[in-house]
Structure 1
Amino acid sequence: MIPAAFDYAAPSTVDEAVRELVDAGEDAKVLGGGQSLLPVLRMRLATPTKLIDLGRIPELRGIREDGGALVIGAMTTHYDLQRDPLIDAHATLLGKATATVADPQVRHRGTFGGSLAHADPAGDLLAPVLAMDAELVVSGMDGRRTIPAAEFFVDLFTTALRPGEILVEVRVPKHTGWHAHYEKFNRVAQAWSMVAVAAAVHTEGGTITEARVGLTNMASVPVRARAVESALVGQPATAESVRAAAEHAAEGTDPAADSNADVEYRQHLAKVLTGRALTAALGS
């Protein structure tokens, strides 16, 4: 199908983009990499009056250090994030999750911020961002504000972004020296996750001192497997500890039933994949 007619703007600064969005009103859409929005436009599931393209704003791209955090521009592509040495050194979990996103073509065009703002519960980058206690910086007419990841994802395809606000960057605390893995289950290659697990652990002397576990597609928003994290801390980094902790993975979740899996199957997958993710992380 052919999209409905719309006006188009390509601002060169964040302030310009915010003004364009506010002036266009509630029927405007923001274009990042377009990997989620363009199919929706073609099927006319969305008919915006105006499209604000963020692709010409240089400050929205790139990765830099800022003290104990990495700052990732919202328009940084999955491909650039996956290849960046700062990610490899300080945010291994994020890099491993990014490598599983769709296919190379999508990773070259899709953007980090676009995936987060889209807030698809099956998206592969939401749970890692949540697990790493990231903060999302948004800009609006009243300036910038910072939203913890735990508060950013509100519901199915819904975020804490207010009308007229744009996601500009994500601040990810450094997890230098942590072991991490992202374990994903889908029926065919490049498909959305039926369930996935983002796991990161820190060990000292063979003992797990800290643990972060995020779950993909186990609720309308990404969720932390807090019971798993609690069960791991203070335990030896062994297969037995992992198996015992993974049994708690489904606690506090609310997965949906659909044509791919019912609730019980997704809860089973969460336990199995948590065990696999932790085992792979500790093995690394």
Structure 2
Amino acid sequence: MLYADSHLHTNPLHGYGAGRVARKFKKEGGWFIALVSLPPYHYGFSEVSVDSYRKTLDLLVREAESARSEGLTVIALAGFHPSEVDEYLKRGLSKKEVYELSAKVFNLINDYMKKGLIHGIGEVGRQHYGTSPERLVLSETIMIEALELACEHHALVHLHLEQGGWVTAFNIAKILDKISCKSSRVVLHHVNYETGLWSSMLGLPATLPVKTSLEKILSTPGIRLDGFLVESDFIDDPKRPGVSAYPWEIPKFFNEKLERKEVSEETVFKLNVENVSKIYEVAPP
């Protein structure tokens, strides 16, 4: 069987790096990864500037190439994470300054997308943890700007959101409707069971964390799996080992399920190959 990790991060300066991750994942049957950038300060680019994001994007491009050199199909995403809103406000920037920085970052991302160096935006969205109302509003405003840009270019987007079940999925569907976005490439990232269920009902693609909601979704009778992907959300931080999951836990999960006949090969193929090829628009292996 072949396996995909539809959302993970790598950090060559402090962690494994993409080459090592790709090598180990491929050995376990991996064929595809969606590589998502971390905020610049995670790589040591601590200056609050567009140049820090340019360095981050260049690092992401190199990491993607490193994973490809190990034989994986790779798409790369860069964004403006809602945690960056909180971080920059803590550092003393005004809300307007944070918004203006995000606009410049999206212009930079757009340039890299036009050159074919990266494939979309991620992560953007809303905080899933407690924050002030005005920070939440700012984060959502930035998310809408990102969605408008991505939908204009039919680019991928990975959304980082609260896990509110129906209200989260319905809200994103309403926003997409309001901005006349017909893209099927807006992905709700790291959804819990209830949010994943409603995402499926509303036709929104979503990534299922291998350690949590994947198990419950698979055991739900009659659920359509067409829009679901599987992710590790690996953060590649030695200080927080396995805080989410490792990419190679995806093959381990499915292999054990197959051995116990708790899942069919057709289901594994749909989640790891068919849906990946359709949503990410990559050729199947």
TM-score class normalised by the smaller sequence: under 0.3
Question: Whose helix proportion is higher, 1 or 2?
Answer: 2
Bigger CA radius of gyration: 1
Per the normalisation by structure 2, the TM-score is: 0.25
TM-score, L = length of structure 1:
0.25
Q: Would you tell me which structure has more strand in proportion to its own residues?
A: 1
Higher RCO, 1 or 2 (CA under 8 Å, sep at least 6)? Answer: 2
